[in-house]
Amino acid sequence: MTAIQRHAVFSLIVIGISVVLFALGLVGGLATKASGMLGLLGFLGFAPLFYRKRPSGAVVVDERDGAIILRANAIAFSVLWLGLVAAGMTTYFVRGDAGTVPVRALPVAIYLAWALYESVRSITVLARTRSEDFT
């Protein structure tokens, strides 16, 4: 398994746990505390550890990995943008022109947007590297 694959698996595990705990909190009626569960996404900040230089001097990321990451980022950005537009439109139609949303919704929206971006990026990386069909 290469560094980008390990990073992708790590990200999906962290996001999975965070989102499941968040959803369980929402179901339990603890909206404010549930959003705190998304703070676990902070563990994604440890990702650079996967790209440390190996003591053996082995290559960590090469040109093919770079090309895969580039494409994964492009796909993830497209999905993120579509998601943001859809979220904006939905809020507008549900709450109306003069509607309001709770302040706590803002950090939750940012966390979920980041989780969406990172999960799409990770899935794309795993799909691309697994198929080994990238030209």
User: Are the C-beta atoms of residues 120 and 75 closer than 8 Å to each other?
Assistant: yes
Q: How remote is the C-alpha of 38 from its chain's centroid? A: 11
Residue (of 120, 114, 102) closest to 40 by Cα position: 114
Q: How far, in Å, are 29, 98, 100 from residue 110 at the CA level? A: 21, 22, 17
**Nearer residue to other proteins within complex by CB, 56 or 100:** 56
Alpha helices in the chain (DSSP H): 3-27, 31-37, 63-95, 105-131
Which of 23, 59, 82, 85 binds other proteins (CB under 8 A)? It is 59
Question: Which residues from 73-132 bind other proteins, rule CB under 8 A?
Answer: 129, 131-132
Provide the minimum distance between the beta carbon of 54 and other proteins in the complex, in angstroms, as a whole number: 11
Position among 58, 94, 98, 103 found at the interface with other proteins (CB under 8 A): 58
Nearest residue (CB) to other proteins, 81 versus 134: 134
Please say which residue, 100 or 131, places its beta carbon nearer to other proteins: 131
| Per CB under 8 A, 65 contacts other proteins | yes
105-131 helix and 63-95 helix, angle to the nearest 10 degrees: 140
1 or 103: CB nearest other proteins = 1
Q: Footprint of other proteins on this chain (CB under 8 A)?
A: 2, 58-59, 61-65, 129, 131-135
